[in-house]
Amino acid sequence: MIDDSEIFSLTGLEISEGLAQGNFSSEEVTLAFLNRIKEVDQKVHAFLSYDEEDMLEQSRFSDQRRSSSNLLGPLDGVPVGLKDVISAKGQPLTAASKILENYRSPYDATVTVKLKKAGAVVGGRLNLDEFAMGSSTENSAYGPTRNPWNLERVPGGSSGGSSAAVAARETPLTLGSDTGGSIRQPASLCGVVGMKPTYGRVSRYGLAAFASSLDQIGPFSQTVEDAAQLLEVISGHDPLDSTSFPTPVPKFAECLKGKIEPCKLGLPKEFFGPGMDDDVRDSLDQAIQWYEKKGYQMMEISLPTTELSVPVYYVIATAEASSNLARYDGIRYTSRSDLAENAIDVYSKSRGEGFGEEVKRRCILGAYGLSSGYYDAYYLRAQKTRTLIRNDFDKAFAQVDAILTPTSPTPAFKFGEKSDDPISMYLSDIYTISTNLAGLPGISVPCGFSENGLPIGMQLIGPAFAEESLLSIAHDYDRECQFGRKQPNL
């Protein structure tokens, strides 16, 4: 019988291959990961909850399908965890907030439906910054997630639980959401692969909304190959999401099997200036040299409005958040304050007690930016500047096939290091935010470690709906260097 440690070290596609060869069953795989969660999650706290019985039942159904040669696809029998803003019928959906602590979703998100149709063992609710607002997973109402590489440091955010769970080998695949870097930044800090697809590529139906024009669901994994397979499963047009784009879904996993012809990569000078940690710069330089040796052409480009991306983002994102979070009012499905004495109290006290400080801060900022007399000065101007940011990318992609940048300016920082300085925390996403504003696909690939052993990520950005070529460029590096296969000692 294969040892648990041999199973939980495997990638999703390696598990799929092992299942096909009869090396183990889906039930054995699921048990191995459940045992791993019980062994290490008290240190990491990647999971808010998981339904062991339901996961094992799903795995047994997968084994039955396999025995009758009725497989549903490559992920049949492979566990996949969900960030706790993605609906799964009958399971908790807290968004890491006290205001939703007793809420259970009555329906599946579209991505959850797609995973179940593909036969994946869907289980586990993963920790995050409350309502996906943060860059460190310190803002969770249920306690922070810790970085598996150094438990004194943050895993990044807001999808810190999703990235840490893969890094700690508690599950082979997870889904997160990315509004301003919330997949790519924690992927970089935890040393795993994380991808934000093009806006509209993956349905947002069943995702607890933060900023509707920016949010996008995407995969975490050890390898680009796994990310491609998971993205293929969850992508596609959805009439339940008005922002879902009606475009065919390529065979992302298949496109990685052929030999890629070296192409032209852009290096935006604005991303390689002051503020970047020396270890990050060294790892990026080595990655750039690797691509050059493989025949890729490097070209310095300019994205001049990059410096405006953070203020533009925090006007637009907070405005949309204040609107989206108005529904959490203590009246319908949220928790209600016991101190409320009248209708006004129900609203004010339920929201005051239920929301954390960062959520309150962003809702107040957003309401201010949308208020009478300030709308034109803030929100409207931010939207106009957003168009300029998108135009910069259009000009860049007329010259290059993809753009290479750091994912995060620093490796993982210590708990509390940026908590008292919101601006410093917001700047953690300075390299990722513009991609969301422009609606483009971006992927973070592990590219090295700092002197003190912390992971570092490289970001690749492509034109809209060019995931096929972007994944190929990322995979070309990842299959040889394989930094994401390295495992922390827990």
Helix (H, G, I), strand (E, B) or coil at 115: helix
348, 301 in Cβ contact below 8 A?
Answer: no
100, 94 in Cβ contact below 8 A?
Answer: yes
Render the burial of 308-331: b for 16+ CB within 10 Å, e for the rest. Answer: bbbebbbbbbbbbbbbbbeebbbe
Known catalytic residues are 83, 158, 182
Give the CA-trace dihedral at 145, 146, 152, 154, to 10 degrees.
-70
Alpha helices in 108-221 (DSSP H): 110-117, 160-167, 184-190
Amino acid identity at 10: L
Strands of 143-262, DSSP E = 173-178, 193-196, 216-221
Here the tokens at position 339 are 């101190």
Helix (H, G, I), strand (E, B) or coil at 391: helix
First-to-final CA distance of the chain: 24
With left for phi above 0 and alpha for psi between -120 and 50, is residue 295 left, alpha or beta?
Answer: left
Contacts 24+ apart (CB under 8 A), 41-44: 41/168, 41/170, 43/146, 43/151, 43/490, 44/145, 44/146, 44/148, 44/151, 44/164, 44/165, 44/168, 44/170, 44/490
- Smallest CA-to-CA distance from 443 within 476, 407, 479, 396 is with 407
416: DSSP letter: T
Strands of 342-452, DSSP E = 402-406, 442-449
Sheet of strand 402-406: strand arrangement? 47-49, 121-126, 79-83, 173-178, 216-221, 193-196, 442-449, 455-461, 402-406, 264-268, 297-301
Q: How far is CA 363 from CA 243, 323, 326, in A?
A: 23, 8, 9
Pairing of strands 455-461, 442-449: antiparallel
